[in-house]
Structure 1
Amino acid sequence: MSVLLPAAGRYISFDPLAEINGDSVRAVLTGVFLPHQCREMMGRHGLPALPRPGQWYPMQAWLNLLAEIEQQFGPRTLYQTGLLMVDHGVFPTGMPTLLAALQALDGVYQTNVRGVRMGYYRASEVAARELRMERCTPHPVEFEHGVVTGLARRYKPAGAVRLSVDLDPSGPAEGLYKNSFRVTW
């Protein structure tokens, strides 16, 4: 089967030799509701159908997989994949606050991705009941939106009735790679 992948070059690793941990790659199978198709896609991008925990795989292959998921199933599927990655990936537990959990995301990222200057996450308090999560990574924005929303839901502040995670129009916006999310409750 021939697949058109105009989006395959859409998300480019900051370091061509960068790698991602197999635990993260495995989590995407849980996040996509069509695991059979996802395994086929993984094979097309040189990723094993069942990635091994602790193994490292090319970051660009991972980004190409996310681009194909976006192309085949749409940005909402990327969002859902990011959201479910929080439940099925390796994320911190027992954080005392939502801000602490969001601040820990950079360490999680640095642990699961290895390469030179692979980006960052920075969380800060903007006002009472408002946080900003700045991110600069090669991942799709909708995928990142899902990850940040998943963490926000997991560590929702006590007494928060509504929780909202939106792209922050006042934050940095440099193409696909750098922008921020506004978390309010």
Structure 2
Amino acid sequence: MKTFEAASQEVEVNGETVLSVVAGLSFGADRARRVLASHGIEDPQPGAWFPQQRWLDAFREIAGTLGPNTLYAIGLRIPDRALFPEGPASMEEALAAIDTAYRMNHRGGPIGSYRFQALGPRCGRVVCDNPYPSDFDRGLIMAVAERHKPRGSTPEVTLEPDLPTRKTGGETCTFRVTW
């Protein structure tokens, strides 16, 4: 999927997810709400639904003005606000549950996916086939990994260097996760 382009105008994102922008922007909630409002998302509330394209337009503005570190910070906040399945027992289950959470927070048409594949002990990959920026996805994956890491481990999330990336015009991004 192309970054910042919804696959369908019918796709919506819930208010819980939108509020992660308000929580993740370092310059304050009021300014975050102004950016969202400038794209037609006013007063986001849990349980409300908004056109995904408007949400992606706000992301595009944030990416253009504040850069990749801010997108990463927003991704880190997604599990704090968005709906997630209850109680994955392992790192592998938690990384696989990102796709379930994605589907809980989006509706109305083709949204893409997050596909987890175990590669070995304490290693896997997540293929992100969605319209969100790569740095946002990296933050989301890192947040999930940090919450579900085994005691004494330090998760790392890096782009697979030899696989397609949306940063270089690809349709997907693939992240290697180690812990």
TM-score by length of 1: 0.88
The superposition leaves residues 32-77 of structure 1 with CA deviations (integer Å, 9 ceiling, x where unpaired) of 12222111111110001x2121111010000011111111211100
Q: Alpha carbons of 1:36 and 1:17: their partners in 2 closer, same or farther (altered >3 Å)?
A: same
Does structure 2 retain, via aligned residues, the 8 Å contact 1:86–1:150?
Answer: yes
1:47 maps to what in 2?
41
TM-align CA RMSD: 1.7
| Deviation per residue, 1:113-134 (Å, 9 max, x gap) | 1132210111111122211011
Structure 1 residue 70 corresponds to structure 2 residue 66:
no
Contact 1:125 1:132 in 2 (8 A): yes
Question: Which one of 151, 156, 160 corresponds to residue 164 of structure 1?
Answer: 156
Is the 8 Å Cα contact of residues 140 and 176 (structure 1) preserved in structure 2?
no
Count residues in correspondence: 175
Partner of 1:182: 176
Retained in 2: the 8 A contact 1:141–1:176? no
Q: Which moved further from structure 2: 37-46 or 163-172?
A: 163-172
- Deviating more after overlay: 86-95 vs 118-127: 86-95
Matched ranges for 1:9-158 at <5 A: 11-33=4-26, 34-48=28-42, 50-158=43-151
* TM-score, normalization by structure 2: 0.90
Secondary structure (helix, strand or coil) at the match of 1:103 reads helix
In the aligned structure 2, how far is the partner of 1:96 from the partner of 1:19?
Answer: 30
Structure 1 stretch 168-177 or stretch 89-98: which is displaced more?
A: 168-177
Please identify, of 172-181 and 19-28, the stretch whose mean Cα deviation from structure 2 is larger. 172-181
State the alpha-carbon separation in 2 of the partners of residues 177 and 85 from structure 1. Answer: 22
| Residue aligning to 1:4 | none
Runs of 4+ in structure 1 displaced over 4 angstroms? none
Q: Which residues of structure 1 form unaligned runs of 5+?
A: 1-8
